[in-house]
């Protein structure tokens, strides 16, 4: 990986595995549609089809209120920079975080300690206010019993692309984000169709709600780095815990679970001796389960069978789907309640000591012990949960425990334990039969050997299919690379051919006495210079479809005739005005244009030039950033950015230069940190502009020498500007321009 520096690894990992599991093509929220204003102050983008909605509420909290919340959170001293583990390496997350909830919160290698919700009464009452005043009137579920705080110290801090789909979080409840401090952007994209994206501006005091069944299964979100930001942003994300999952997880992975070891007398007969099949391993991995079973025999020290004590040798064939390295287990998908049930089903052989581990914690013992413990832990968990619950306004006693609630929960659990017991004993008998078959395969070869043969051939076929899939994948990557190379070669060959044809054509118009027999004619320099104008009767090119260029221009290029531009491209003009006009008025229309191979974005300097201050420069760069980010994320087209050139009407060139410098610097940084920005190419006209200026100023016979702030693009030349743009486009497509580079004013 080249683009991660201080990026958030774990989140990237999660997002990748998520997008693999999504059916592609299921477009749910059409981000090209504008946000609609439902209720005053509430902007919504929603889909009736899926019920998924993004809602944005502005000015929910005043600036003063925001500051109070930030200081309450900061005074807790809970914010810290967590480390995630990725491929056995530690990575500091690029932000500070704190988790408030009834349990610890764990995802991909990060375990966050659960702090007490009620320690932040202002946050709690802010949520209650939000619930009453914005969630309820907009039919958004008002549940939340935990919250995650993220603090982005400046624009270099970020949160990688991910979905909030940890099993700790109830997937039916909304994710509600309160933004405090510096404004940042959140990029929300559809999984499997990242072009369907929206960048939401999160102003201080605003609330963003991602809502709808399985929203997190369908979309990702991220807070990208933003070099324009120098101040801190704090976000508070309210969520609802998945209580069923949490209690089951606590029961099985709490270090408090102390489990007795079965008596030695019980430890003999049926032992799983074969290593698990590929299929079985995969099934266990999909459960997010790491189980290592250690075989007991009567000679071993039963009190510490999983320790590496010399008296308890762990035979290599006794490891069932085990993960030797505890950190690896953290990267399995998280456990759901069903997975836990399955896990309990797996714990059945009393002669096998099982060790369950997740997030670095482990528990071991038999199913029976787990069940007992489960009941106790769940009861305690519910009590703790209830006392930490953010009760809605109507509930007068935030600490009151609803006795029915607990009783009911326990009753439900007791019922499910009975069910589980029945399941376990059914599974036990199946397993015993299997174990017997396995053990006595020599004496009773008939049925078991059939099964195992079939299993074996199944495994083999599965392995073959796996090999096939991976080789197909490799081939695909190779072909893609080859194709890209071929494409650029075709481009080069095409432009070479055009050039040669032009040469031959112009040479043949030169008087015949320059030709010597069959020798190739020398091309006169004039002929090359004139080739643009000599295309009165162009021959049709049939090698390759032309690239479509969408020229987003401001008033400078009004006069420009796209037909005369180049043979290799078709150019469509779109008068977008300045970058802020483009951003605010035309972006959706532009993004909606089909089959564009490259945008050319002419950055007019107007919006900045009229009020040249440090803040307006920052704002200008920020707007350019949004504009460019949106264009880049909305398609895979290239983007040629034409940096500003002074325009008619008295622009002051030092300001333009200042702006060009800031934007260039910013783009250079972005290209290093964000791969998508490598599709961007810049055209800087200032070098040729300044040279034109020098020529004018030094020409003595000029009747009215122009001063720097009066020279404008008409003197500099529309033609030159277009030529520079053309060479920028050729560069973007790694194509050789048809004319010799030397005849063109090089870019500075
Ligand atoms: O900071 C934010 O607004 C979003 C944070 C987030 O998505 C998360 O921590 O899951
Ligand atoms: Fe998130």
> Which pLDDT belongs to residue 693?
65
> Which pLDDT belongs to residue 530?
37
Q: What is the mean pLDDT of residues 326-339?
A: 32
Exposed / middle / buried, residue 281 (Cβ in 10 Å: 0-12, 13-18, 19+): middle
Q: What is the mean pLDDT of residues 54-63?
A: 93
Please state, in angstroms and rounded to a whole number, the distance separating the CA atoms of residues 335 and 722: 59
Probe residue for ligand 1, chosen from 237, 238, 239, 240 as the CB with the greatest number of ligand atoms within 8 Å: 237
Q: How far is the CA of 588 from the centre of ligand 2 (A)?
A: 26
Which of these, 679, 672, 665, 577, lies nearest to 628 by C-alpha position?
Answer: 679
Report helix, strand or coil for 612.
Answer: coil
Q: What is the mean pLDDT of residues 110-137?
A: 89
> Which pLDDT belongs to residue 100?
92
Q: What's the token pair of residue 737? A: 């321009």
Q: Is pLDDT at 180 greater than 90 in this prediction?
A: yes
419 or 181, which is more confident: 181
For ligand 1, what atom is nearest to the CA of residue 221?
7
Q: How confident is the model at residue 438 (pLDDT cuts 50, 70, 90)?
A: low
CB 129 within 8 A of CB 136: no
Q: How far is the CA of 101 from the centre of ligand 2 (A)?
A: 16
Listed as own residue / partner, the contacts of 465-474 with beta carbons closer than 8 Å and 24 or more positions apart are 466/278
Exposed / middle / buried, residue 103 (Cβ in 10 Å: 0-12, 13-18, 19+): buried
* 9-241 matches 545-743 in fold: no
Q: Is pLDDT at 326 greater than 50 in this prediction?
A: no
DSSP 50: T
Q: How confident is the model at residue 584 (pLDDT cuts 50, 70, 90)?
A: confident
Highest mean pLDDT among 74-83, 487-496, 698-707: 74-83
Supply the residue whose CA is at minimum distance from atom 2 of ligand 1: 235
- Residues facing 237 on adjacent strands: 148, 177
For ligand 1, what atom is nearest to the CA of residue 148?
9
CB 121 within 8 A of CB 73: no
Of 187-201, 505-519, 557-571, the least confident: 505-519
For ligand 1, what atom is nearest to the CA of residue 235?
1
Q: How far is the CA of 600 from the centre of ligand 1 (A)?
A: 33
**DSSP letters of 368-385?**
HHHHHHHHHHHHHHHHHH
Q: What is the mean pLDDT of residues 408-424?
A: 65
Report helix, strand or coil for 568.
Answer: coil
User: What contacts 521, CB < 8 A, 6 or more positions away?
Assistant: 503, 504, 507, 508, 510, 514, 515
> Which pLDDT belongs to residue 623?
83
CB 547 within 8 A of CB 572: no
Residue located via tokens 């910013």: 666
Q: Is pLDDT at 389 greater than 60 in this prediction?
A: no
Note the ligand closest to the C-alpha atom of 232: 1
Which protein residues touch ligand 1 with a CB less than 6 Å away? 148, 150, 159, 164, 177, 186, 221, 223, 235, 237
Q: How far is the CA of 319 from the centre of ligand 2 (A)?
A: 36
Q: Is pLDDT at 382 greater than 50 in this prediction?
A: no
> Which pLDDT belongs to residue 327?
27
Q: How far is the CA of 162 from the centre of ligand 2 (A)?
A: 6
Q: Where are the beta strands (DSSP E) in 124-183?
A: 146-152, 159-162, 175-181
Q: How far is the CA of 26 from the centre of ligand 2 (A)?
A: 21
> Which pLDDT belongs to residue 322?
28
For ligand 1, what atom is nearest to the CA of residue 11?
10
Q: pLDDT tens for residues 519-564? A: 333 333 333 333 333 333 444 444 567 889 999 887 777 777 888 7
Supply the residue whose CA is at minimum distance from atom 10 of ligand 1: 164
For ligand 1, what atom is nearest to the CA of residue 177?
3
For ligand 1, what atom is nearest to the CA of residue 95?
1
Report helix, strand or coil for 500.
Answer: helix
Q: pLDDT tens for residues 10-25? A: 454 443 333 322 333 3
Q: Is pLDDT at 737 greater than 50 in this prediction?
A: yes
CATH of domain 545-743: 3.40.50.1110
Q: How far is the CA of 353 from the centre of ligand 2 (A)?
A: 38
DSSP 320: S
Probe residue for ligand 1, chosen from 100, 221, 238 as the CB with the greatest number of ligand atoms within 8 Å: 221
Q: How confident is the model at residue 179 (pLDDT cuts 50, 70, 90)?
A: very high
ipTM: 0.99
pLDDT above 70 covers what percent of the chain? 53
Probe residue for ligand 1, chosen from 158, 223, 225, 236 as the CB with the greatest number of ligand atoms within 8 Å: 223
Q: How confident is the model at residue 309 (pLDDT cuts 50, 70, 90)?
A: very low
CB 116 within 8 A of CB 191: no
**DSSP letters of 101-137?**
SSS-EEETTEEE-EE-GGG-HHHHHHHHHHIIIIIGG
Probe residue for ligand 1, chosen from 100, 187, 235, 236 as the CB with the greatest number of ligand atoms within 8 Å: 235
CB 154 within 8 A of CB 233: no
Which of these, 8, 499, 439, 482, lies nearest to 223 by C-alpha position?
Answer: 8
Q: What's the token pair of residue 365? A: 């013992």
For ligand 1, what atom is nearest to the CA of residue 164?
10
Q: pLDDT tens for residues 652-707? A: 456 677 778 888 888 888 888 888 888 899 888 777 767 766 666 665 555 444 44
DSSP 334: P
CB atoms within 10 A of CB 551: 25
Q: How far is the CA of 164 from the centre of ligand 2 (A)?
A: 5
For ligand 1, what atom is nearest to the CA of residue 222?
7
CATH of domain 9-241: 2.60.120.590
CB 260 within 8 A of CB 365: yes
Probe residue for ligand 1, chosen from 159, 203, 232 as the CB with the greatest number of ligand atoms within 8 Å: 159
Average pLDDT score over the chain: 67
Q: Is pLDDT at 183 greater than 50 in this prediction?
A: yes
Q: Is pLDDT at 720 greater than 70 in this prediction?
A: yes
User: In Å, how far are 502, 511, 742 from 521, measured between CA atoms?
Assistant: 12, 11, 21
Q: How far is the CA of 416 from the centre of ligand 2 (A)?
A: 32
Residue 574 backbone phi and psi in degrees, to 5: -140, 115
611 or 163, which is more confident: 163
Q: How far is the CA of 635 from the centre of ligand 1 (A)?
A: 25
Q: How far is the CA of 249 from the centre of ligand 2 (A)?
A: 22
Q: What is the mean pLDDT of residues 132-138?
A: 88
Q: Is pLDDT at 580 greater than 70 in this prediction?
A: yes
Q: How far is the CA of 235 from the centre of ligand 1 (A)?
A: 7
For ligand 1, what atom is nearest to the CA of residue 179?
3
Q: Is pLDDT at 263 greater than 90 in this prediction?
A: no
Element (H, E) at 460: helix 446-509
> Which pLDDT belongs to residue 421?
67
Q: How confident is the model at residue 176 (pLDDT cuts 50, 70, 90)?
A: very high
Which of these, 647, 667, 641, lies nearest to 714 by C-alpha position?
Answer: 647
Probe residue for ligand 1, chosen from 10, 148, 173, 210 as the CB with the greatest number of ligand atoms within 8 Å: 148
Q: What is the mean pLDDT of residues 644-659?
A: 61
Q: What is the mean pLDDT of residues 246-268?
A: 36
For ligand 1, what atom is nearest to the CA of residue 186?
3
Give the domain ranges of the chain.
9-241, 247-388+397-436, 440-508+522-531, 545-743
């Amino acid at each position: 990986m080249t683009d991660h520096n201080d990026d958030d690894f774990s989140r990237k990992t999660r997002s990748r595995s998520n997008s693999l599991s999504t059916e592609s093509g299921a477009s749910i929220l059409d981000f090209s549609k504008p946000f609609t204003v439902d209720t005053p102050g509430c902007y919504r983008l929603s889909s009736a089809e899926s019920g998924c909605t993004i809602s944005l509420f502005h000015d929910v909290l005043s600036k003063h209120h925001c500051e109070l919340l930030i200081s309450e959170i900061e005074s807790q001293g809970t914010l810290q920079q967590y480390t995630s583990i990725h491929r056995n390496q530690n990575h500091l997350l690029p932000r500070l975080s704190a988790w408030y909830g009834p349990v610890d919160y764990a995802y991909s290698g990060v375990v966050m300690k659960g702090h007490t919700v009620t320690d932040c009464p202002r946050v709690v009452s802010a949520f209650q206010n939000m619930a009453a005043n914005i969630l309820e009137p907009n039919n958004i579920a008002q549940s939340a019993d935990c919250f995650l705080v993220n603090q982005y110290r400046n624009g270099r801090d970020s949160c990688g692309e991910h979905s909030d789909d940890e099993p700790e979080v109830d997937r039916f409840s909304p994710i509600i984000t309160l933004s405090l401090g510096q404004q940042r952007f959140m990029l929300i994209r559809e999984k499997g169709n990242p072009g369907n994206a929206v960048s939401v501006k999160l102003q201080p005091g605003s609330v963003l709600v991602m809502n709808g069944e399985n929203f997190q299964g369908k979309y990702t979100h991220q807070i990208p780095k933003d070099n324009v930001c120098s101040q801190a942003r704090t976000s508070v994300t309210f969520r609802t815990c998945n209580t069923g999952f949490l209690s089951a997880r606590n029961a099985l992975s709490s270090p408090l679970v102390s489990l007795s070891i079965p008596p030695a007398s019980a430890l003999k007969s049926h032992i799983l001796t074969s290593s698990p099949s590929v299929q079985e391993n995969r099934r266990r991995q999909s459960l997010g389960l790491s189980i290592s079973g250690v075989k007991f025999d009567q000679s071993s020290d039963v009190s510490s069978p999983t320790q590496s004590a010399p008296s308890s040798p762990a035979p290599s064939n006794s490891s069932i789907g085990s993960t030797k390295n505890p950190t690896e287990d953290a990267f399995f998908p998280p456990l759901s309640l069903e997975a836990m049930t399955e896990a309990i089903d797996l714990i059945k052989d009393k002669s096998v000591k099982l060790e369950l581990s997740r997030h670095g914690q482990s528990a071991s013992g038999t199913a029976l012990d787990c069940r007992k413990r489960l009941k106790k832990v769940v009861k305690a968990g519910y009590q703790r949960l209830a006392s930490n619950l953010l009760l809605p306004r109507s509930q007068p006693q935030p600490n009151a425990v609803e006795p029915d609630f607990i009783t009911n929960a326990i009753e439900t659990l007791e019922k499910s334990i009975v069910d589980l017991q029945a399941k376990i004993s059914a599974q036990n008998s199946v397993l015993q039969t299997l174990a017997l078959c396995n053990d006595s395969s020599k004496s009773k070869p008939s049925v078991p050997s059939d099964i195992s043969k079939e299993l074996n051939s199944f495994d083999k076929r599965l392995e073959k299919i796996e090999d096939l899939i991976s080789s197909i994948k490799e081939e695909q990557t190779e072909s893609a690379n080859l194709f890209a190379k071929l494409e650029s070669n075709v481009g080069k060959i095409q432009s070479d051919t055009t050039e040669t044809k032009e040469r031959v054509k112009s040479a043949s118009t030169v008087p015949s006495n320059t030709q010597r027999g069959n020798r190739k004619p020398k091309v006169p320099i004039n002929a090359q210079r004139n080739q643009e104008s000599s295309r009165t009767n162009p021959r049709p090119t049939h090698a390759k479809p032309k690239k479509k260029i969408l020229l987003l221009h401001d008033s400078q290029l009004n006069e420009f005739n796209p037909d005369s531009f180049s043979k290799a491209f078709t150019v469509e003009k779109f008068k977008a005005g300045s970058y802020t006009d483009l951003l605010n008025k035309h972006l959706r229309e532009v993004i909606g244009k089909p089959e564009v191979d490259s945008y050319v974005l002419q950055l007019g300097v107007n919006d900045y030039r009229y009020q040249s201050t440090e803040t307006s420069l920052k704002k200008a760069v920020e707007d350019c950033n949004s504009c460019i980010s949106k264009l880049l994320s909305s398609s895979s087209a290239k983007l040629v950015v034409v940096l500003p050139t002074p325009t008619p009407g008295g622009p002051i060139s030092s300001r333009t230069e200042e702006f060009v410098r800031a934007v260039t610097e910013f783009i250079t940084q972005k290209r290093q940190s964000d791969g998508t920005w490598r599709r961007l190419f810049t055209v800087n006209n200032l070098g040729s502009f300044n040279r034109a200026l020098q020529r004018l100023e030094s020409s003595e016979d000029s009747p009215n020498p122009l001063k720097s702030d009066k020279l404008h693009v008409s003197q500099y030349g529309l033609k030159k500007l277009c030529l520079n743009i053309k060479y920028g486009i050729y560069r973007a497509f790694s194509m050789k321009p048809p004319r010799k580079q030397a005849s063109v004013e090089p870019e500075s």
